[in-house]
Amino acid sequence: MATETPGQETQETLSNLLSETRRFEPPADLASAANVTADAYEEAAQDRLAFWERAAERLTWAERWNTTLEWKPPFSKWFVDGKLNVAYNCVDRHVEAGRGDKVAYHWEGEPEGDTRTITYADLQKEVAKAANALEELGVRKGDRVAVYMPMIPELPIALLACARIGAIHSVVFGGFSASALKSRIDDADAKIVITADGGYRRGAPSALKPTVDEAVADCPGVEHVLVVRRTGQDVPVNERDVWWHDLVERQPSEHEPVPHDAEDPLYILYTSGTTGKPKGILHTTGGYLTQVAWTHHAVFDLKPETDIYWCTADIGWVTGHSYIVYGPLANGATSVIYEGTPDTPHRGRFWEIVQKYQVTILYTAPTAIRTFMKWGDDIPAKYDMSSLRVLGSVGEPINPEAYVWYREHIGANRCPVVDTWWQTETGGIMISPLPGVTAAKPGAAMRPLPGVVADVVDDQGESVPNGGGGFLVVREPWPAMLRTIWGDDQRYIDTYWSRFEGMYFPGDGAKRDEDGDLWLLGRVDDVMLVSGHNISTTEVESALVSHPKVAEAAVVGATDPVTGQAIVSFVILRGGAEESEDIASELRAHVAKTLGPIAKPRQILVVPELPKTRSGKIMRRLLRDVAENRSLGDVTTLTDSSVMNLIAEKLPSAKSDD
């Protein structure tokens, strides 16, 4: 991205415009009792592999490894020759340690009053039965199992049952279409599909089984479809269908967990497809479980005896795999799982759940936080959330203003906020504050975790100095790293390891501030080139969100005859803020003042909604089409494609101000 403009010096790779002076020290009581202290950075810096070995020792191994890391770039093996069973680590060992009565999951269905409490002893029985059932269906170690389910307890049970027998699960988010499901079933060559008749979404049963039927109609490799009855909807039953309650319920509630190799595959998870053809990201067992368990313990300061932990993600995304299922269970945590949407039956539902279960640790996404800001401060204010002590964020850069709102209105200015950067490919958290150590800055992911060697580099792969911006890279292998793209080593090499020699390139831009702390700046594909300056979408969006009338913003670069690209902004106003004549000039002036005149948007459009992927991320590609008056690209991964019509209607008023 470092561009040579004729007549100019080579300039910075990515502009560093936003300056933020707020700092939040860790609360003293949290710091004094923290699971992980500043020493961890020191220890990992001295001997990174020894550090990860100690993290691996938190697990129970059937056989210890011989070699910690075998690195034949870009292919890694961790804990070579080590053997363990992931399900045993997540379930049985807690029961054996006398903690069988401890609650693993407080499950909250979307219909109010529809709840289930599952202890570790319950989970052990359920997982054993499901493992026996899969074996009866002919599923063997190494077979692929596609999972297309609502957020019900049978979902983590199904994953653990696969892990127990060494089958490889491939979860497809329950909002995806039949063709998306089919292409993922085909790519992984899945032998069975586990699903449900439906789940509850926005107050009504929403069917899943018909989508599976449509997807598998043309998948001869699928031998059975195992169906949980959740909603009781009338669903067609075919020859290859098996009801969960018929098959699983009659199984013995014991199952011997055989040890698997540390490098045996655990799962495939397809990335959401924001950036093209989905990639089947492959994760294995030993290194993955080591890192998700350690990071969950460190980043959330999880105290299994006293904390009630709630991650609001869907298990269909990596966040749910690592931080609803594997990390929390490996640590013996008590978690909340919620089936439905935050506005059903009312907009206070999340806070009602926090109050009901006395949640102490909450992990959610910036998109949700900005929605809550839009709905208004008075909603969370109605609930008692004094149990909370740590707040987390993941999925997109968190705008400083959203961070501060989260801290204040959800965390009562008492709870540290950890902004965690990672991706499907990294398997676990990579860059994040530690809640008992870091004086966090709103909007910054701060530092690579101990044992993670991340850096920001320029076009040539050289580290940028403090105050500079560029490409985020990871310089050394880490235990939970993807091992390859399923069936496509070459694409793995090309996608992640070809941009910079010997470094992993995640595709994100970042800057390192004057103190050496890291700020994520969005995907490099979204970076805008305005009059020779590379400007990140994140910084301009954050400047817009820092205006009191703005709840959410998306910006894109649109071709401009004068400046190369010009900044076009789409904004959603906060609850109560009126769309007025001069809002555009007010916001443009605000951005110019916050970031400098170079970042001043050419256009501002007030819109009712923004196009989002099914995991809640802004789809800037479509907004670019709108801004450049092109016909829209593929809208099938949008949550709600009618959003684009609402935005297009706004266009006539989208004239440039000057």
Contact call for residues 622 and 635 (beta carbons, < 8 A): yes
Does 333 carry a binding-site annotation? Answer: no
Sequence letter at residue 590: H
Nearest distance in Å: CB 8, ligand ATP: 29
Nearest distance in Å: CB 460, ligand ATP: 22
Rounded Cα distance between 402 and 443, Å, is 8
The encoded tokens of residue 119 equal: 């202890």
- Tally the C-alpha atoms within 13 A of residue 598's C-alpha that lie toward its C-beta: 17
Contact call for residues 568 and 628 (beta carbons, < 8 A): no
Does 508 carry a binding-site annotation? Answer: yes
Does 639 carry a binding-site annotation? Answer: no
The encoded tokens of residue 29 equal: 């009581």
Q: Which is nearer to ligand ATP, 360 or 424 (CB)?
A: 424
Tokens 């991205």 belong to residue: 1
Question: DSSP character for 24?
Answer: B
Angle made by CA atoms 261, 272, 243, in degrees to the nearest 5: 65
Q: Which is nearer to ligand ATP, 131 or 622 (CB)?
A: 622
Q: Which is nearer to ligand ATP, 87 or 313 (CB)?
A: 313
Nearest distance in Å: CB 155, ligand ATP: 18
Nearest distance in Å: CB 2, ligand ATP: 21
Does 531 carry a binding-site annotation? Answer: yes
- The 10 Å Cβ neighbour count of residue 152 is 21
Nearest distance in Å: CB 27, ligand ATP: 21
Q: Which of 289, 316, 283, 517 is nearest to 421 (CA)?
A: 517
- The 10 Å Cβ neighbour count of residue 100 is 18
Nearest distance in Å: CB 318, ligand ATP: 5
Q: Which is nearer to ligand ATP, 164 or 523 (CB)?
A: 523
Long-range contacts of 446-450 (CB under 8 A, 24+ apart): 446/419, 446/517, 446/518, 447/41, 447/516, 447/517, 447/518, 448/518, 449/295, 449/298, 449/299, 450/36, 450/40, 450/41, 450/43, 450/44, 450/45, 450/51, 450/298
Q: Secondary structure of the chain: what % helix, strand, coil (to 5)? A: 30, 25, 45
Nearest distance in Å: CB 81, ligand ATP: 30
417-419 and 390-393 strand pairing: parallel
Nearest distance in Å: CB 466, ligand ATP: 20
Does 199 carry a binding-site annotation? Answer: no
Nearest distance in Å: CB 419, ligand ATP: 5
Does 423 carry a binding-site annotation? Answer: yes
Does 424 carry a binding-site annotation? Answer: yes
The encoded tokens of residue 196 equal: 């449900």
- Residues 404-431, buried b or exposed e (16+ Cβ, 10 A)? bbbbebbbeeebbbbbbbbbbbbbbbbb
Q: Which is nearer to ligand ATP, 186 or 525 (CB)?
A: 525
Cα dist. 329→49, 90, 297, 300, 428 in Å? Answer: 24, 5, 11, 14, 15
Does 422 carry a binding-site annotation? Answer: yes
Q: Which is nearer to ligand ATP, 507 or 564 (CB)?
A: 507
Nearest distance in Å: CB 289, ligand ATP: 19
381's CB contacts (< 8 A; 6+ apart) are: 409
Does 227 carry a binding-site annotation? Answer: no
Rounded Cα distance between 637 and 639, Å, is 7
Does 614 carry a binding-site annotation? Answer: no
Q: Which is nearer to ligand ATP, 357 or 496 (CB)?
A: 496
Q: Which is nearer to ligand ATP, 338 or 504 (CB)?
A: 504
Does 586 carry a binding-site annotation? Answer: no
- Evaluate the CA torsion angle 645, 646, 648, 652 in order and state its sign: positive
Q: Which is nearer to ligand ATP, 274 or 534 (CB)?
A: 274
Does 70 carry a binding-site annotation? Answer: no
**Residues that bind ligand ATP in the complex, under the rule CB under 6 A:** 271-275, 317-318, 394-397, 419-421, 423-424, 445, 506-508, 520, 523, 615, 617
Does 405 carry a binding-site annotation? Answer: no
Q: Which is nearer to ligand ATP, 299 or 566 (CB)?
A: 299
Annotated binding site for ATP: 395-397, 419-424, 508, 523
Annotated binding site for Mg(2+): 545, 547, 550
Annotated binding site: 201-204, 319, 395-397, 419-424, 508, 523, 531, 545, 547, 550
